[in-house]
Structure 1
Amino acid sequence: MNKYIFIKDLFFIIPTAFIAGAGLAALQGGIYWIGLFGFSLLLLLGLSALVAAWRWGGGGKALAWMTALAFILRLAAGVAVYFALPVNGYDVPDDKAGYIFTDAHRRDDQAWGLASSNKPLWSAFDKSYAADQYGGLLALSAFMYRYLSPDVQRPLLVLTLAALTAALGVPFFYKSTRLLWDGKLAAVSSWLFVLYPESVLTGGAQMREPFLLTFIAVAFWGFAGWLKQNESGEKNRSVWLWLGIGIAGLLLVSPAMALALLVLFGGWLWLRGEKARLPWQVLVGVGGVFLVGVLLLAWSLSRQHDFGGGSPIGVILNWIRDSVKYVIYLLERGSGQIQNIFLKMNPFVQFLFVIGYGIAQPVLPPAFFEPTTLTWRIIAIVRALGWYAVLPLLLYSPIAAWKSEPERARRLWLWLSAFSWLWILISAIRAGGDQWDNPRYRLIFFGWQALAAGYAWLWWRQHRDNWLPRIFILEIVSVLLYGQWYLARYNSIGFHLPILIVLEVSVVLFVLTFVGGWWWDHWQAGKRRA
């Protein structure tokens, strides 16, 4: 028996898997015993992996609660949405079928189509299956259907796999953070990692984000282990295995994320001064992975699965340029208010507006006031509250990083904060003001955002400077300002100010908060020195 799984664990795992599998099978159509077998086997393997990962991660009640809640919340949210949307959603195909994400609906339908055909599973990487840009998750979903649910499409089966995978990343993330820093930061950032609503929502859906988050956490553990063994002089080849598993998983599901993670790790090593200690074999391996990632990304983005006479880099850059133009076009076309705003802006200001609007998504005030169904209102409010709770900490994180000591820690936290914000900006540019794609893209590297936010919170708890309260007050005032605008628009309560005036007031408040706060602190410091 594996040293991380004991016989006594099976007395809990087996009946839990069977009972939960029986319940999930009863909620789906098809031949009951096939559903029972498929769900129970998946849960047996998944729960065993979670228990082993929990014990490997150090055990303890806190990590047990984190891992268990990560799975239960995502599974419960996914099942609840699956049954609530057909009853209390919109009269559109996605809602009627119980899917909160259009991508999940299309991918799941195509996975079932592939599974029930005579085609090999690697056909998922063919452009004829356009629902999955890269093909990895489509192939995995088709595998699940072909071998665990051959009689009928059971969306909750892939949903359960996503929830299990999301929870599996928690012990890796927790252990990595504790290894590199301490238990306090590991606890705060891991709870953010577990409870963040956008993560719960995508982790309870047939989406790639839970897989990406976990592969990144696995790679993080390999990277953290390598850093520590460099400090101690010990040699443990397993760290390369974990790093390789994480990177390989990212290449399969989304090559672009593997490239971004390599950039993050490269910057980390550079700032730590580790670049001179890297063996040439590692440099060659990383270079090879980066090259493979670029080729896979360009291949997946090209319409004909070739490079059309151009270079892979050219394919990627053309796709990025066309994507930005397209999302700005969709944003402008989708709202009369946005069209009105864009008419009064030059192209550069339009671009800045798209970034700011993307960062604000999902916007909190319309979650309360825009007409919608109860199910969608609850989803909108919970998503927005989660982001608006984390956003002030992320805004504060560069300030906390700048004030950190010693110099090496300052450089590292500035880099992690900068990477978090760079990814947030990239997501805003790529998805524009879309209230679904923007938060979803942003979520992929939420582990690093959770680290930056967790560090910012702990630093403020220790030093109690004025910046974090200022940022929270700025956010509250801005939410109230836009809330009044939405309230006047939809309920005719209060003054209905032009949206441009509201935007201008928001920008002035932002500038006054940061410039005025800096000037006040500088003036106070001068008085103390005098």
Structure 2
Amino acid sequence: MPISSCVVWKATAGMLRRSWPSLAMPRWIWAVGLALLLLAGVVLVLGWVSSGFRGVEGWIGYLGGAAVGAAILWAGWWVLRSEDLPAWLGGLLVLTTLLRLGLGVFWFVALPELGYDSPAELKGYVMADAFKRDQAAIELALSEKPLLRAFQGYRGADQYGGMLFLSALIYRYLGGGIPIAARPLLMVWIVACFSSLAVLYTWSFSRRAWGAPVANLAACGLALYPEAVLLGSSQMREAFTISLVATAFYGLLRYGQERSWQGLALVLGALLFSLLFSPPMAAMLLVMLALAAMTFGFRVGLEGKRVFYQPRFWVILSFLALLAFAGVWLTWGHFAPQGMSNPLELVSWWIRKSFDWQAHLSEQASGWLQKIFRNSPPWLNLPFLLGYGVLRPFLPAALADVTAVPVWRWVAIWRAAGWTLLLPFLVYAPLRAFRRVDRQNPQDINPRMLSLIVWLGILAASFRSGGDQWDNPRYRAMFACLQISLAAWVWVSRRRLSDPWLRRVLIGMGCLLAWFMPWYLLRYLHFAWPVGDLFKTIGLGVLSTVLVWLWDWARMAERRDE
């Protein structure tokens, strides 16, 4: 059907051009006209929703926001003009933006009716943190206070102040004519536009790293990845940091391959903006960029010198490190305890605070977790919570939980399905990379270190959030660009050169999910199931996996003998 529709469309367009030569205009005119029509549609729809579906009187208030969002998309495309971006990628960018905006409008309209009666949901917010920060931003925007006050006195709403400042800036200067209750839709549009840029920079990063097939798959995967879509439809800082991480790694790779200052400027700009939203995240991004630069193994120009052998590289890296430390020092008071001035002491405090948070979660855990902690040695609690955090959101738990209202149950299943599909490829990626199944092109990114970087981000998110079902996935999603690019590399490289271990990893994941499903049904529905012990359930999953692996190994050995 899509192919026949395309043929009909092309034939109709050709007939129209022959009948009316004036229609044979340059392609860019058609693109601009279509973009203006889409923007007009967005403005009218937002005005209609903000008026309570009674008219479009508030449409004029969204004109400025529509212009800013369009400028963000155009600027993101213009920066990558040297990458020879395919036309379909522009269509994907538009669809990605509309998907996030449409979902944000759905939350705004549906959650007051379908969600719980929490203050955030009654106002149409899918994230409680976004609600708290947005209320403070609207209050600051309507007051006569300078917007820089966002970095002072609003720590309860925004620990670092950057997202609060940006929201208040948009509400003050672009929110005129929009009802106060509907102004969050303006921010949803801006967030949707900026978060969609991650698709462009993920494609560009993956194409330079491994070629067009990986890039195409990675761009489409990120456009549809549930956690990225969810964050891009809400007023969350992670929607910005996902795009900033993609930009930083693309800039690093571009600088390494071309020695272009444009690539270095992208790295610097991404770090500066990350510092505005979250200094700890900017510091972690800097560490990951340094690891990547030292171990990717890409070559520079025709000289064949590795990047980290050049003194200029270390000068630039030192400058970026000093810049990051300067930014942390300027924002020190927003996240460091009063009286603390030593950076090493701050790191130690952060680790202790994370351990304390883990202990708090242990105390507040559900009955089955408390039972596990009581019957296991204390040193096992942290590794268990780390592994638990890596698995969350867990698909069997989402499927079996019938206590949630329908809209939240479907959101939980949607998020868990996305992570469950991605996780096996991330588990398999280091196995393939370190076993050297593929012969690496000297110009390619080294997937071994990228695998380590991805898992460093996953474990850091799990450690910091203690396996929380909301904080843990959104911290982890900041590095969705790298995760999905690595998964796309696994899929494409596996199609080029088969390896049974991907199949075995998928089988192992399937066995664990199959054994956990009745265990969760026993918890939520009192399903008649004889195995109620968690460790026995894990043991059955592992044993089933080993048996299937042995059968697969024997089957392949028999084929080789034939």
Q: Which TM-score applies when normalising by structure 1?
A: 0.89
Distance in 2, matches of 1:303 and 1:314, equals 10
CA offsets, 1:365-405, max 9 Å, x none?
A: 12122121110111011100000000000001011212232
Task: Report which stretch shifted further, 258-267 or 347-356.
Answer: 258-267
Task: State the Cα distance separating 1:281 from its structure 2 match.
Answer: 4.4
Question: Where do 1:426-437 residues align within 5 Å?
Answer: 426-437=460-471
Question: Do the aligned partners of residues 39 and 325 (structure 1) sit closer, same or farther apart at CA in structure 2, a change above 3 Å counting?
Answer: same
Give the counterpart of 1:265 among 265, 271, 289: 289
Q: Secondary structure at the match of 2:446?
A: helix
2:416 aligned with 1:384: yes
2:509 aligned with 1:487: no
2:507 aligned with 1:473: yes
Question: Where do 1:247-266 residues align within 5 Å?
Answer: 247-266=271-290
Residue number in structure 1 paired with 2:351: 320
2:322 aligned with 1:288: yes
Distance in 1, matches of 2:544 and 2:377, equals 21
CA offsets, 1:271-297, max 9 Å, x none?
A: 224112241642442232232244356
Give the counterpart of 1:275 among 288, 292, 308: 308
Residue number in structure 2 paired with 1:13: 35
Residue number in structure 1 paired with 2:236: 207
The gaps in structure 2 that reach 5 residues or longer are 1-26, 298-305
The gaps in structure 1 that reach 5 residues or longer are 231-235
Indicate if the aligned counterparts of 1:474 and 1:513 stay in contact, CA closer than 8 A: no
Indicate if the aligned counterparts of 1:180 and 1:228 stay in contact, CA closer than 8 A: no
CA offsets, 1:412-431, max 9 Å, x none?
A: 21100011011111111111
Task: Report which stretch shifted further, 494-503 or 221-230.
Answer: 494-503
Q: Give percent identity, aligned residues only.
A: 33
Indicate if the aligned counterparts of 1:222 and 1:242 stay in contact, CA closer than 8 A: yes
Distance in 2, matches of 1:251 and 1:393, equals 31
Indicate if the aligned counterparts of 1:256 and 1:297 stay in contact, CA closer than 8 A: no
Q: Secondary structure at the match of 1:487?
A: helix
Task: State the Cα distance separating 1:300 from its structure 2 match.
Answer: 2.5
Residue number in structure 1 paired with 2:245: 216
Distance in 2, matches of 1:164 and 1:188, equals 21
CA offsets, 1:232-260, max 9 Å, x none?
A: xxxx4322322222111111111222222
Task: State the Cα distance separating 1:490 from its structure 2 match.
Answer: 2.4
CA offsets, 1:32-73, max 9 Å, x none?
A: 888423322222332344256447353434312321221111
The amino acid of 1:372's aligned partner reads: A
Question: Where do 1:368-379 residues align within 5 Å?
Answer: 368-370=399-401, 371-379=403-411
Residue number in structure 2 paired with 1:40: 63
The amino acid of 1:375's aligned partner reads: V
Question: Where do 1:344-359 residues align within 5 Å?
Answer: 344-359=375-390
Residue number in structure 1 paired with 2:492: 458
Residue number in structure 2 paired with 1:233: none
Task: Report which stretch shifted further, 30-39 or 237-246.
Answer: 30-39
Question: Do the aligned partners of residues 68 and 477 (structure 1) sit closer, same or farther apart at CA in structure 2, a change above 3 Å counting?
Answer: same
Distance in 2, matches of 1:423 and 1:282, equals 24
2:531 aligned with 1:497: yes
Residue number in structure 2 paired with 1:128: 154
Task: Report which stretch shifted further, 156-165 or 27-36.
Answer: 27-36
Task: Report which stretch shifted further, 47-56 or 84-93.
Answer: 47-56
Distance in 2, matches of 1:217 and 1:424, equals 16
Distance in 2, matches of 1:27 and 1:519, equals 56
Aligned residues: 516
Indicate if the aligned counterparts of 1:362 and 1:387 stay in contact, CA closer than 8 A: yes
Distance in 2, matches of 1:243 and 1:375, equals 39
Distance in 1, matches of 2:532 and 2:156, equals 42
Indicate if the aligned counterparts of 1:169 and 1:218 stay in contact, CA closer than 8 A: yes
Q: Secondary structure at the match of 1:427?
A: helix
Residue number in structure 2 paired with 1:445: 479
Task: State the Cα distance separating 1:217 from its structure 2 match.
Answer: 2.1
Q: Secondary structure at the match of 2:393?
A: coil
CA offsets, 1:324-361, max 9 Å, x none?
A: 32244224413111111110111221111101110110
Task: Report which stretch shifted further, 248-257 or 324-333.
Answer: 324-333
Residue number in structure 2 paired with 1:302: 336
Question: Do the aligned partners of residues 275 and 59 (structure 1) sit closer, same or farther apart at CA in structure 2, a change above 3 Å counting?
Answer: closer
The amino acid of 2:271's aligned partner reads: I
Task: State the Cα distance separating 1:506 from its structure 2 match.
Answer: 5.7
The amino acid of 1:340's aligned partner reads: K
Distance in 1, matches of 2:551 and 2:284, equals 33
CA offsets, 1:405-454, max 9 Å, x none?
A: 23868982110001101111111111112111110000001111112111
Runs of 4+ in 1 over 3 A off after TM superposition: 5-10, 29-35, 51-55, 296-299, 406-411, 501-504, 506-514, 516-521
Question: Where do 1:396-407 residues align within 5 Å?
Answer: 396-402=428-434, 403=436, 404-406=438-440
Larger Rg: 2
Distance in 2, matches of 1:509 and 1:356, equals 19
The amino acid of 1:134's aligned partner reads: Y
Residue number in structure 2 paired with 1:225: 254
Distance in 1, matches of 2:331 and 2:449, equals 25
Task: State the Cα distance separating 1:206 from its structure 2 match.
Answer: 0.4
Task: State the Cα distance separating 1:160 from its structure 2 match.
Answer: 1.0
